[in-house]
């Protein structure tokens, strides 16, 4: 939800901003803009559309200057338009601001300021910050910002600059991410570390309640009362080389193909000498009597899969919630509940709020997170990283596989610690799970066959995804992938529930993606498939290689390696992702940046 960058240093600011905006674009891409302090005055260029469009415009507008702000927007308040794009400014265009988040009391503040004569141009909540700074700016920029902070309510990470203090940036954060990059040639205030590629690896992770004052020759961190705060810097370990398409037409496809590598990386990291070692205090797991898993979107589906596995292996109750529901209902968490939040970005606003709520309730918290140093990773009592590397495609793929894989290890470890599985099973499962990268490769080898299926079904208006048991959440995920990138309405349903409604939809124009695996629900699911066929549904089956009986029922067959049901949950996502991808290619959709979506949802 919006990407922000502020830069001050010895380099020309514009290329720095352009590079960062390109990398931040996955956070929102409906408009983009920059402001550069040039010869004592701010020069602003902004417009609706993606960063690329802004870059084309900038080719004909020379801009020089060593301080600048940039923004890529995901609209919350105000339509997508030039005037609502950031940066925003005060009455005299002397103060510039870029913001990620929502100022909830902006209407009331705007009225107050308008009564005092301030003139607003946009419909955004952000513009209020520039006018408030103008109102309180009697001495230094940071003093004015601190006064503003006592007036505004909501969530924010923002950066402000002023012509009056031409070598200074002031940033503040509350519930939206902001990171200070310490480079040899200047300082950066950015929404996330990926924006710092090729600039610096040295960062200070700012916390809620931090105000940062950055000058060309140093920085200072204060609290919202203006008192100094001490912070240490950290070195980013991420391998940034994964940030280009490497010859693939889309990041999504590249990330789908990276999945075997991601799993290999996690095997190396977490499986040693026939043992799972998650590098956490095992007592947390040993003492857990109930798991409460909270996440959004794809991460939520990973949580749902793990519910089946963990209950089966570790014999403890598991509850899975979407973060936005968890935080607004009266949950009853018993003592010894372990709260687990799953997040690719580690910044999702609802998941972060749910984590904070759990902590406030005195519950132990564990985060399963991809992005190193993200807020959720830093605030949870314990973190397990999923090591998927930067994921750029808005539709999550490799981060999902990594989450599923880590949650399997977590479930097995829990079961081992609680003595609820046979040691022989544990050992053999551990051997088998290390074959997953190979199995994933063989799933990827079906790509051209899946592409042909997509060529035939891409015109459908609706899709139904059916599965039972632990692959049911994968049906939800398959439907989500298709919706996200192809804009086709799709529903995931438990096969057994089909008769309670969706069966009414079945006709020959409705593709039904049916997931089958070995195990206790295979025969039940096959019966459901026959019910679909009896009503002329068009079946795309994903099932274990060699299951001839299922194959005969399917109109289109996608075979995956014949592994046990638990392991199949790690393989099924590949055909689902590829099917969604090729359908979207046929429909000429913007695959890496689907309309209305953003990768990191930092507003509620």
Q: Which one, 34 or 479, has the nearer CB to ligand G6P?
A: 479
* The one segment of 165-173, 282-290, 293-301, 553-561 that binds ligand G6P by CB under 6 A: 293-301
Contact 265, 239 (CB under 8 A): no
Contact 94, 67 (CB under 8 A): no
What CA–CA distance (Å, rounded) separates 417 from 412?
9
Residue 296, interface with ligand G6P (CB under 6 A)?
A: yes
Which structure tokens are listed for 403? 């989450």
What's the Cα-to-Cα distance from 28 to each of 48, 50, 222, 360, rounded to whole Å?
A: 12, 9, 29, 31
For residues 182 to 221, the per-residue mask of contacts with ligand G6P, x marking binding by CB under 6 A and - elsewhere, is: ----------------------------------------
Would residue 482 be called left, alpha or beta, if left means φ above 0 and alpha means ψ between -120 and 50 degrees? alpha
The residue within the footprint of ligand G6P, chosen from 21, 367, 394, 578 (CB under 6 A), is: 394
Catalytic residue among 2, 296, 341, 443: 2
Question: Looking at beta carbons, which residue is closest to ligand G6P?
Answer: 297
Q: In the Cβ-directed half-sphere of 181, how many Cα atoms lie within 13 Å?
A: 28
| Coil, strand or helix at 476 | helix
Q: Rounded to 5, what percent of the chain is helix, strand, coil?
A: 40, 25, 35
Q: Identify whether the C-beta of residue 575 lies closer than 8 Å to the C-beta of residue 5.
A: no
For residues 570 and 411, is the Cβ–Cβ distance under 8 A? Answer: no
Q: Is 296 a catalytic residue?
A: no
| Cβ 561 vs Cβ 443: under 8 Å | yes
Query: Between 247 and 286, how does the x/- string for binding to ligand G6P read (CB under 6 A)?
Result: ----------------------------------------
Choose which of 1, 450, 601, 603 interacts with ligand G6P (CB under 6 A).
601
Stretch that binds ligand G6P, among 40-48, 51-59, 258-266, 337-345 (CB under 6 A): 337-345
Q: Is 396 in the site for ligand G6P (CB under 6 A)?
A: yes
Least distance in angstroms from the C-beta of 255 to ligand G6P: 11
Q: Which of 31, 176, 298, 474 binds ligand G6P (CB under 6 A)?
A: 298
3 state SS for 210-259: EEEEEECCEEEEEECCCCECCCCCEECCCCHHHHCCCCCCCHHHHHHHCH
Side-chain-side CA neighbours of 474 within 13 Å: the count stands at 29
Stretch that binds ligand G6P, among 214-222, 326-334, 338-346, 503-511 (CB under 6 A): 338-346
Least distance to ligand G6P from the beta carbon of 345, Å?
A: 3
Q: Does 597 bind ligand G6P (CB under 6 A)?
A: yes
Binding ligand G6P by CB under 6 A: which of 343, 386, 446, 486? 343
Dist. CA 551–CA 542, nearest whole Å: 9
Give the one residue of 599, 602, 603, 604 binding ligand G6P; rule: CB under 6 A. Answer: 599
116 is catalytic: no
Nearer to ligand G6P, 316 or 485 (CB): 485
Residues near ligand G6P (CB under 6 A), total: 15
Which region, judged by CB under 6 A, interacts with ligand G6P, from 154-162, 256-264, 341-349, 451-459? 341-349
Interface positions, 353-372, toward ligand G6P (CB under 6 A): none
What sign does the CA torsion over 240, 350, 80, 395 have?
positive
Strands 511-515 and 462-467: parallel
Q: Does 299 bind ligand G6P (CB under 6 A)?
A: yes
Report the SS3 class of residue 201. Answer: coil
Check residue 386 for interaction with ligand G6P (CB under 6 A). Answer: no
Compare residues 318 and 342 and give the one whose CB is closer to ligand G6P.
342
DSSP H/E element including 7: strand 3-9
Closest approach, Cβ 594 to ligand G6P, in A, equals 9
Scanning 258-266, 340-348, 459-467, 561-569 for contacts with ligand G6P by CB under 6 A, the matching segment is 340-348
Kindly tell me which of 338 and 353 has the beta carbon lying closer to ligand G6P. Answer: 353
Residue 351 binds to ligand G6P (criterion: CB under 6 A)? yes
CA atoms of 109 and 123, how far apart (whole Å): 13
From 297, 473, 494, 495, residue interacting with ligand G6P (rule: CB under 6 A): 297
Q: How many CB atoms lie within 10 A of CB 246?
A: 11
Tokens of 459: 């015109």
Whether the CB-CB separation of 395 and 252 falls below 8 Å is answered with: yes
Residues that bind ligand G6P (CB under 6 A): 296-299, 343-345, 348, 351, 394, 396, 597, 599-601
The residues that are catalytic are 2, 599
């Amino acid at each position: 939800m919006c990407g922000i960058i502020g830069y001050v240093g010895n380099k020309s600011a514009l290329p720095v901003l352009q590079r960062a905006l390109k990398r931040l674009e996955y956070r929102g891409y409906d408009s983009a803009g920059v402001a550069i302090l040039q010869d004592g005055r701010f020069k602003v260029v902004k417009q609706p559309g993606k960063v690329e469009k802004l870059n084309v415009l900038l080719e004909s507008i020379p801009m020089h200057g060593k301080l600048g702000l940039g923004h890529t927007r995901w609209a919350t308040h105000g339509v997508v338009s030039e005037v609502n794009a950031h940066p925003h400014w005060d009455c005299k265009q002397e103060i510039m601001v870029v913001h990620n988040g929502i100022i909830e009391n902006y209407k009331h503040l705007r009225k107050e300021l308008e009564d005092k004569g301030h003139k607003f141009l946009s419909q955004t909540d952000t513009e209020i910050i520039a006018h408030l700074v103008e109102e309180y700016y009697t001495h230094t920029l940071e003093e004015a910002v601190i006064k503003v902070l006592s007036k505004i309510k909501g969530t924010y990470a923002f950066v402000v600059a002023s012509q009056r203090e031409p070598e200074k940036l002031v940033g503040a954060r509350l519930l939206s991410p902001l990171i200070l990059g310490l480079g040899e040639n200047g300082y950066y205030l950015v929404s996330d570390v990926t924006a710092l590629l090729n600039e610096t690896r040295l960062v200070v992770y700012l916390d809620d309640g931090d105000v940062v004052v950055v000058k060309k020759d140093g920085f200072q961190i204060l609290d919202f009362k203006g008192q100094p705060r001490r912070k240490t810097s950290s070195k980013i370990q991420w391998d940034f080389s994964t940030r280009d398409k490497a010859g693939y037409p889309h990041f999504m496809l590249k990330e789908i193909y990276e999945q075997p590598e991601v799993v290999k990386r996690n095997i190396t990291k977490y499986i040693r000498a026939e043992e799972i070692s998650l590098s956490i205090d095992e007592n947390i797991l040993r003492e857990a009597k109930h798991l409460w898993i909270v996440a959004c979107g794809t991460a939520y589906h990973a949580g749902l899969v793990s519910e089946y596995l963990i209950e089966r292996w570790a014999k403890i109750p598991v509850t899975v919630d979407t973060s936005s529901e968890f935080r607004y209902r009266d949950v009853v968490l018993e003592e010894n509940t372990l709260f687990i939040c799953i997040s690719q970005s580690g910044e999702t606003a609802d998941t972060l709020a749910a984590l904070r709520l759990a902590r406030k309730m005195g519950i132990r918290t564990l985060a399963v997170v991809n992005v190193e140093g993200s807020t959720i990773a830093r605030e949870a009592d314990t973190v397990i990283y999923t090591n998927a590397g930067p994921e750029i495609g808005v539709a999550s793929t490799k981060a999902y596989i990594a989450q599923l894989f880590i949650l399997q290890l977590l479930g097995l470890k829990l079961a081992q610690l609680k003595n609820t599985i046979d040691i022989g099973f544990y050992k053999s499962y551990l051997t088998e799970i290390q074959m997953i990268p190979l199995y994933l490769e063989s799933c990827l080898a079906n790509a051209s066959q899946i592409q042909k299926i997509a060529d035939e079904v891409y015109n459908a208006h609706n899709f139904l995804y059916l599965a039972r048991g632990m692959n049911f959440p994968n049906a939800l995920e398959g439907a989500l992938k298709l919706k996200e990138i192809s804009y086709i309405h799709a529903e995931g349903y438990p096969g057994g529930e089909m008769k309670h409604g969706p069966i009414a939809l079945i006709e020959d124009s409705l593709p039904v993606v049916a997931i089958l695996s070995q195990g206790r629900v295979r025969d039940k699911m096959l019966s459901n498939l026959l019910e679909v066929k009896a009503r002329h549904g068009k079946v795309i089956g994903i099932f274990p290689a060699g299951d001839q009986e299922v194959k005969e029922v399917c109109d289109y067959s996608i075979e995956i390696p014949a592994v046990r049901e638990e392991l199949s949950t790690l393989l099924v996502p590949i055909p689902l992702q590829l099917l969604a991808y090729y359908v979207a290619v046929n429909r000429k959709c913007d695959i890496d940046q689907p309309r209305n979506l953003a990768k990191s949802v930092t507003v509620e």
